[in-house]
Chains A and B, each alone.
Chain A
Amino acid sequence: MCTAISRSDQVRGAAKGAGGWFPLARCTVGFDHSTHTPDEHAVLIDFANYGIGTDARVGVELDLDSARVLLAQLQEAVDRAEALDSGDD
C-alpha cells in the first residue's frame, strides 16, 4: 500500500536526536511504508527542524494500536493541563 497519508504542522518545543537536543520546527504525522518496524505500514511521526539539517529529526514508527495509546496519552495530558490552567484540577 502506498498511501501518501501525511500531515505536517509547525510546532514549538525541543527534541533529543542523535546529535543532542535541538529546537523543534515541525511535526509530521502520516500512515505509510515503515522503515524499521516489522509491519508493512506504520503511523509515522517525525519531530524535526529541517532548518538545521535533514538529520535534525526524531522519527517514530508505531503500529495502529500503539498510535491509539499515544493518542489517549496525549489527550489525557492535554485535558489535565487545561484543567490545571482553568483551576479545575
Chain B
Amino acid sequence: MPQTWNSFNTGMQLAITAQTIEFTAGGGDPVHAYVARPAGEGRYPAVVALHHMPGWDEFYQELCERLARHGYAVICPDLYCRFGHGTPDDVTAKVRAEGGVADDSVVADSAAALEWLKAQPWCSGKVAVMGTCSGGRHALLAASLVPGFAAVADLWGGNVVMAEDQLTAARPVAPIDYTDRLQVPLLGLFGNDDRSPAPAQVDRHEAALQEHGRDYEFHRYDGAGHGFFYYHTPMYRPEQAMDGWEKLFEFLGRQLGGH
C-alpha cells in the first residue's frame, strides 16, 4: 500500500500557495513559471519541474500542487513562453511548427530556475529536477549539464537514446551521450509497453549508467505505456501511477531530505 498518498493527519493545517510568476530565465529573458510551495514558515526542499511536450498545461499545474502538498517548493518554467501565449494546445502546435524548443534553451531555463529557487528564503537549497515525456529527457540534460542539482527524475523521457538521423539543430546531442557528466542520483520510471522510450532503449540507457558507475534506480511497469500518470488521457494506469508517485516521493525524500 502507498505510504505517502492519503497519509496526512486530518488534524493538520494544510496550506499551499500557487501562482504564476515571471522570472529571469535563460538569456535574461522574462519567462513565466508556475510556482507552488507550502505556505507555512520554513525552508523546503525544492524541485524544478520541466513540462512535457504537450505544453505548460493544467496537468503540470496540478503536479506542482501535489508536490507542494507533500512539502516541496516547485517551479515549473514555461519552456514555450518565448513562442507566445494562448491555450496550451495552440502554443504547443506553434512550437511543433517551429521545430520544437531547443535543448540549449531548456537547459538555460533550468539553470535559471535553479538559481531562482536557491535565492528564495523558503528554499532549503536542495533542489531536484524532474519531468515527464520530453520533460524527462530535458531533466536528464539539465542534471547532466547544470551543476547544482541534487537529484534528477526522468519519467518516461523519450529520445534519451537517439539515432544519428534524429539529431537536429535544436536537439544536437542524445542525452545518453552525457552519461559521463551525470553526477547526481537518477530515478527513472518507465512503462514496458512504451515505444519511445522502448524497453530496449531503457536497457541501453541502463547499460550506460552501469558502465559509468552512476547512482540510479529504474522502475519498469508492466501493463503501462507512455504517460501512465496522465489521468486526463487513456494512457492513465492507476495502479502503476500510484506506485510511481510513491517511488518519486521516496526518492525525493531520500535525496532532498523531504518527507
Binding site for B on A (CB under 8 A): 1-4, 6, 8, 26, 28, 30, 32-33, 35, 38-40, 44, 46, 48, 50, 53-55, 57, 59
In the complex the two chains form, is B225's CB within 8 Å of A40's CB? yes
Distance to closest chain A CB from B252 (angstroms): 23
Verify B86–A35 contact, CB threshold 8 A: no
CB distance from A35 to the nearest CB of B (A): 5
Our pick among A6, A35, A54 for the contact of B85 (Cβ within 8 Å) is A54
Main secondary structure of the interface of B (DSSP, over half): loop
Residue picked from B52, B98, B171, most chain A C-beta under 10 Å: B98
Considering the chains assembled together, what is the distance between the CA atoms of A88 and B15 in angstroms?
Answer: 74
A-contacting 9-mer, from B29-37, B43-51, B151-159: B151-159
A-B contact pairs, 11 of them (CB 8 A): A1-B226, A2-B156, A3-B196, A33-B54, A33-B133, A39-B234, A40-B233, A40-B234, A46-B93, A46-B96, A54-B84
Please give me the residue from chain A that is nearest to B197 by CB atom: A2
Instruction: Return the contact of A54 from the options B86, B134, B159, B197 (Cβ within 8 A).
Output: B86
B200 at the binding interface (Cβ < 8 Å): no
Give the A-B pair count, Cβ closer than 8 A.
Answer: 88
Cβ contacts under 8 Å, B98 to chain A: 8
Contact A35 B96, beta carbon cutoff 8 Å: no
Question: In whole angstroms, how far apart are the Cα atoms of A73 and B16 in the complex?
Answer: 53
Q: Which of B89, B196, B226 contacts A35 (CB 8 A)?
A: B89
B25 → chain A closest CB, angstroms: 19
Please give, as numbers and ranges, the residues of chain A lying within 8 Å of B226 by CB-CB distance. Answer: 1-2, 40
